[in-house]
Amino acid sequence: MGYIKEPDGVDFVIKGKPLTDKQKQAISEFIKADKERLAKLKTRTTKSTNRQRKVWQ
């Protein structure tokens, strides 16, 4: 079990203003695109692993 050590002399502080509708929309689009990117990456990794297995069999 670990923990994140803050760098010396640095304190993690968050003070954000409420998100605007425009920001929320932009974040939603980013999340959608990021999920698609991660899904593609996963598919590619799975295919690559399967191909490797065939070679070794």
Partner 1 sequence: MKKRKKIELDFEIDFLTNSIRNTVSGDSFRTEVLRLAKSDLIQITKKNGWNFNWKTELDDNSKEVYKLTIVDNPNIVQGLISFTINADHVYMDLLENAPFNLGRDKLYEGVAGNLVAYACKISFQQGFSGYVSFTAKTRLIEHYQRTLNAMTFGGQLMIINTVAANILIDKYYKNG
Q: Which residues bind partner 1 (CB under 8 A)?
A: 1-19, 23-24, 26-28, 30-31, 34-35, 38
How many residues comprise the chain? 57
Q: Determine the residue type at 38.
A: L
Q: Nearer to partner 1 by C-beta: 27 or 43? A: 27
SS3 36: helix
Handedness of CA 45, 48, 52, 53 (dihedral sign): positive
Q: Nearer to partner 1 by C-beta: 10 or 55? A: 10
Q: Nearer to partner 1 by C-beta: 34 or 48? A: 34
**Cβ 55 to partner 1, closest distance in Å?**
28
